[in-house]
Chain A
Amino acid sequence: MSSTAPVAGRTRGMGELIDVPDKTTVLAPFGTTLAELGRERPEIVGLTADMGRYSDILPFRDAFPDRFFNVGMAEQNLISMSAGLAKVGKIAYCTTYSVFVTRRAYDFVAIACAHSKANVKIFAGMPGLVNGYGATHQATEDLNMMRGIADLTVIDPCDATELQQVVRAVADIPGTVYVRLPRGRVPVDLDPDSYRFEVGQAKQLRWGGTTGIISTGYMTARALDALSVVADRGIEAGVLHVPTIKPFDVASVLEFARGYERIVVAENHKTTGGLATLVIETLFDAGLLRPVERIGLADSFFECGSQEYLEAKYGVDLGRFVEVLTSSRT
C-alpha cells in the first residue's frame, strides 16, 4: 500500500535533547547567556509564544519572572507586544519557532518592529531543516523572507560559541534583529578563546586549495568537519563564515572569492533567496565571475523525519560536502 518503505529512525519530539557525538556541547546557550546579560541590563525583557521550554528561554524566566511574558500561542501578538515594550525603553528578546515568526508574523516584524527600528531581538528556533515535523515546522525560506525587510539585521550563528556572543552583541546594536536559534545541546565548533563575532562581519576560518566555501549557520561547522574528513586525501579549501546575512559583508565576500577558482555556498536554507543568491549577486555586480556550486535545499516542501534522515535525503549532510570537495581539483 505504502510506496515508501519506512526506514530506521523517527521524528524527534519537540524539546527532546539530542546527543551530539564527538563534540563538546553547551546546554541552552541562549537562555543561560540571556539570564547573565539580564543581570547587567535591567532593561532587557523576555517573551515567548508558548515555546518557552522549546526555545531555551526558561533560564531567563527563572532569573527574572517579573520581566518575562508568555503571551500564549499568539505569534503576531508576541511581535507587537515586543515592539511596544521596545518603544517604552526595553530591549525585548522574544522567541518562538522560526516558521511561526516568519510566516505568521511577517507583517508585524516589518511594520511594528523594523520600520520603527524597535529594539526587538527575535530568536527563532529550529530554523531550516532542523525540525522533523515537516513543512509546517521547517523554516526553509526564512533568511530569504527576513532579508527582504528593510532595516532588519539577520544573523545565522554557527554554534554555541557564536550564539553566546550574538546574544550579547545584539543588545548593543539598535533596532530589530532576527537570529536563527540553535537550542538544546548545542555543539561548540568555534574556539571560544579566539573566535570573535561582530555584527555584519564575515570571518575567514580556513585557507588553502582552489575551492572557497562560503557558508552560514551550522553549515560552516559541517564544512569544517568535511575538511577534516578529506584532509588525509590532501584536499584543502578556504572557508568564509558569514553569520550576518543582513547587512551583507560584500567586501569580505569579494576579497575571499578573488582568491579561489571555484566557490561553494552552503546554507541550511533553500538554495534560492538566501546566502547563495546573495553571493552570486555580489560577485556578478562586481564583475567577478566564478563558478558557484550550492549546497542547500531545493524549492520544495520537505517531509517529516529525523534530522540525519532528512539531511541525507535532501543533500545537505556531511557526505554531500565530502562529495563536493572531492569532486574539485585542488
Chain B
Amino acid sequence: MTTPDKGPPPDLDALHRHAYALRRTMLQMAAGKGEGYIAQGLGFADCLAALYFGELRHDPARPDDPDRDRFLLSTGHYSIAMYAALAEAGYLDRDELPTYALNGSRLPMSTFDDLPGIEVVGGSLGQGLGQAVGMALGLRLDGSPARVFCEFSDGELDEGSTWEALMSGATFDCDNLVALVDCNGIQADGPVTVRIEPVADKLAAFGWDTVEVNGNDLGELTAALAGARAPDGRPKAIVMRTTPGYGVPTVMARERAHFVRIADGEWDGLLRELDEHYGVVAHV
C-alpha cells in the first residue's frame, strides 16, 4: 500500500482567500434568483477550499484520470457550492456560472454526474457513502493510490443506507476512504430533530477513525484532513460542525435556513456583509 506523502504544511492564508472567493461566487450565482441552498453552500465552503486547494490530488485538465482522488458530494442540493468550487479549481468556465438553476443549464439545482468533476448523482439522499465504499474497494483492488472523500449531511444520518455503508466501510477496512459529515443542524423541515447525536461517538463505535472539528475553521479542517491520511486499515470520518450561512450574518440569522428566500434588492448587502467578514475593502 502506498503511503500518501505528508506534503507541505497548508497555506492557510491561501485557503482563506479561496473560501472567500467561493462564498462570493455563490452569492453572485444565487443573486436575483430569489432563493436557494445558499446557507448550506456558505457553511460548506471551507471544507471545499481545504479539499480542492489542498488535500485532493486532482487535475482539472484530466477529470477522467483513473488515479484522481474522488470527491463525492452526496447532498446534490449543495450544487451551488460544488459549481463554485469547480469553477475556482478550473473545471468550469466562470461564464457559465450565471446559468445556475436556469432552464437548460448544465448547472442544475441538483448535481448530476454528466458534468466533469461531479462523481455521482446527488439529490436522492443517502446514496453517496455506499458508492464511496465501492469506489474505495475498487481503487484498492487496482492498486491505485487514489483516495475517496465523501461528503454527506446530518440529515442523511436519518437514512438507514448511510449506516449500512458505514458498516461496510469498516468491515472492508477502507483506509483510503474519508467521510466528511456536514453537521449544520438543519434539514428540510427545520432543525434536526431525530436523535442522531452523539455523531462522532457513533461513527467511532462503528469502527471509523473519527475526529470532530469546527467545519468553518480551516486550521482544524486541514489538521483533520492530514490526520486522515494514515494507512492503518480503518476508514476515517471528520465530523464537521458548520454554521449555515457562515460569513454572511443575515443568512446566518435566518430561522428557515434550509431554503432561504432573498429579495432582489438584498444581494448587494449580503456581498458587503461577506466582504466585512473577511475584512475586505468593498469591491466596486
Q: Which positions in A face B, CB cutoff 8 Å?
A: 1-2, 4-11, 13-16, 48-54, 70-74, 76-77, 99-100, 103-104, 132-137, 303-306, 309
Contact = CB atoms under 8 A, between A and B. Distances in A.
A13 B108 contact: no
Interface stretch (B39-47, B131-139, B156-164, B219-227): B156-164
B28 interface: no
B124 A10 contact: no
Contact of B109 (A15, A54, A71, A133): A133
A304 to B, nearest CB: 4
A136 to B, nearest CB: 3
Contacts of A104: 124, 126
A76 B189 contact: no
* From A14, A54, A99, residue with most partner B Cβ within 10 Å: A14
Given A10-B101, A50-B187, 19 more contacts: A1-B93, A2-B99, A7-B102, A9-B102, A11-B103, A50-B189, A53-B190, A72-B155, A72-B193, A73-B158, A73-B188, A77-B160, A99-B124, A100-B124, A133-B109, A134-B108, A134-B110, A137-B110, A137-B124
A13 B155 contact: no
Given A14-B259, A136-B110, A6 B155 contact: no
Contact of A2 (B101, B106, B194): B106
B112 interface: yes
Nearest to A303: B108
B96 A134 contact: no
Contacts of B10: none
Contact of A6 (B77, B99, B123): B99
B158 A10 contact: no
B188 A53 contact: yes
B64 interface: no
Interface in B81-135: 93, 95-96, 99, 101-106, 108-110, 112, 121-126
Interface residues of B, number: 39
Contacts of B102: 6-11, 305
B160 A76 contact: yes
Contacts of B36: 13
Contact of B122 (A50, A100, A136, A306): A136
A19 to B, nearest CB: 14
A304 B108 contact: yes
Nearest to A96: B188
| Interface residue SS majority, chain A | loop
B134 to A, nearest CB: 18
A227 to B, nearest CB: 28
Contact of A50 (B96, B105, B158): B158
Interface in B1-46: 33, 35-36
B109 A132 contact: yes
A13 B80 CA distance: 13
A133 B110 contact: yes
B103 A136 contact: no
* From B93, B99, B101, B106, residue with most partner A Cβ within 10 Å: B101
A79 B192 CA distance: 20
Nearest to B188: A50
Contacts of A9: 102-103
Nearest to B77: A133
A136 B77 CA distance: 11
B215 interface: no
Contacts of B207: none
Nearest to A100: B124
B108 A136 contact: no
